[in-house]
Amino acid sequence: MRRRVQNEQTGHRGRRDDPLYRARRVLLRGEETLDAGAAERLWSLLELGDPGAEVAIAYRIKERIRDFYRTRDPNEAREMLRELEEYCRRRAMPPEIQKLGRTIRAWFDKIANFHLARVSNGPTEALNNLIKRIKTDRLRVPQLRELPHPSPALRRTAQLARAGIDRGSVRLQTPPDSEEPPKVAL
């Protein structure tokens, strides 16, 4: 949303001296981590670069979502999420916020269940990452060609043995006292 508002206000991407561009990193920080000077700087930059207060609204909603995840009581969290959904879906909200409201509505139970289970998805993520790594490593290993089935090779060896043909090294055989050229035996 910050980028969209920036582009609408200035007609270009963020540059060093643009207020919204200068506020971009502070917008990512939690409100509790801002000291008084940083908080004042953030709100003054938002006043300068965000006349419609769209980015300020998005920042407040982000903080409300963080409050939702910090809450320990499942019922209180569910109520917070319901209020947030209703607030985001108002017609006066920017399109990005309305989309967030629709997403919260669609996934409401799954999001609210975060507080019921309190189960980490860490093991699942670790397994997924391991599988991805294995697949990637497999692609890097040169593919070995498949070895032929041994039975045809054994059959061929047996046929050659029955015929009396030596598969060893090539030998020159010269008949004794003959003027014929030497024969090659296989």
pTM for the model stands at 0.60
Residue 140 reports pLDDT greater than 60: no
Residue 14 reports pLDDT greater than 90: no
Q: Tell me 148's DSSP state.
A: P
Instruction: Supply the pLDDT for residue 36.
Output: 92
Residues 22 and 91 both lie in one domain: yes
Instruction: Supply the pLDDT for residue 49.
Output: 86
Number of structural domains (the chain) is 2
Return phi, psi of residue 112, to 5°.
-65, -30
Instruction: Supply the pLDDT for residue 170.
Output: 47
* 115 three-class SS: helix
Residues 27 and 108 both lie in one domain: yes
Q: How many CA atoms lie within 13 A of 11 on its CB side?
A: 0
Give the structural domain span for 178.
Answer: 159-185
Percent of the chain exceeding pLDDT 70 equals 69
Residues 29 and 102 both lie in one domain: yes
User: Minimal CA–CA distance to 22: which of 55, 62, 49, 61?
Assistant: 49
Q: Per the domain annotation, does 37 fall within a domain?
A: yes
Residues 109 and 30 both lie in one domain: yes
User: Minimal CA–CA distance to 68: which of 126, 2, 112, 22?
Assistant: 112
